[in-house]
Structure 1
């Protein structure tokens, strides 16, 4: 199998397909960082997306047109977080949520009370000149913490903090 690469043209093509399929989504992860920064600052292995669970069928159909129709077996696969891929180089990391009556978004198992405000997914950025909805800078930083930072986190978090005047979290260096 080739190494997974999600280029900017690939990401834009997928985002365009999801928009055409009327999937409600927000870009997350590394591409959200670069979208918020308005430029690609590193290579990406996948496209992370938040979406309401009710849009999953539309998303699977849209991604299927690109050959992205296989679940990647991983130890951290959950019903609300799993990866689809094309068997060659395209991979999409899905994060499903359920809207709550109070406007918050529930993420994770029904037995756990983990929710976040819908405003966390109201950021706007660009990938290769294409405007996308994504996580906000503050939430992007927050979601890059809470676990031992990876090299990509050490790259992404300082860039976001510097650009958006956010405090650098403990464990990161400028």
Structure 2
């Protein structure tokens, strides 16, 4: 499991390495609502692809080793305690928008500049993805119980429509 302290520790490591990262997934949604609402198996982070060597080096120094390589789409690092970080490399344009490769090469994931926002974890301000971007990424598949929980939070907190009901 990944705790709030773990998340803040990882972000601090990356800041010290001058590497930018934004929280997505469940922790990103909890950051948007300002409180931890469920347990989290991992931490989803989006990072600048040109900073990937610094990201990998900082995490390796903290005991994380690569356990899954699906580059250029994503890769996962895990430490001896079983904490996992799912990393998503982003290529940024001059206007602040970004793209991430997908398993369908003709359809990359798109990140508008406005989706890079901040939230709160354990009273600390953290970089994360916007509610609209989170909803965008939670579509086109059969939702899990965690997805239903997360989308319900976004509906109640931000009054936005999601692609499935809780």
TM-score (norm 2): 0.90
110, 119, 123: which one aligns with 2:114: 119
CA drift at 1:80:
2.6
2:137 paired residue number: 143
The 2-side partners of 1:103 and 1:47 are apart by 23
CA drift at 1:113:
4.6
Farther-moved stretch of structure 1 (106-115 vs 155-164): 106-115
44, 59, 75: which one aligns with 2:40: 44
CA drift at 1:100:
2.7
CA drift at 1:7:
0.7
1:29-87 CA deviation, whole Å, 9 max, x = no partner?
110000011100000011101111111111111111221122236xxx33231111114
What CA RMSD, in Å, does the superposition of the two structures yield over aligned residues? 1.8
- Give ranges in structure 2 of 5+ residues lacking alignment: none
The 2-side partners of 1:103 and 1:112 are apart by 21
Q: Size of the alignment, in residue pairs?
A: 164
- Comparing both structures, which one devotes a greater share of its residues to strand? 2
TM-score (norm 1): 0.86
The 2-side partners of 1:168 and 1:69 are apart by 35
1:96 paired residue number: 89
Judge conservation of contact 2:119–2:125 (CA < 8 Å) in 1: yes
Judge conservation of contact 2:66–2:75 (CA < 8 Å) in 1: no
The 1-side partners of 2:118 and 2:138 are apart by 18
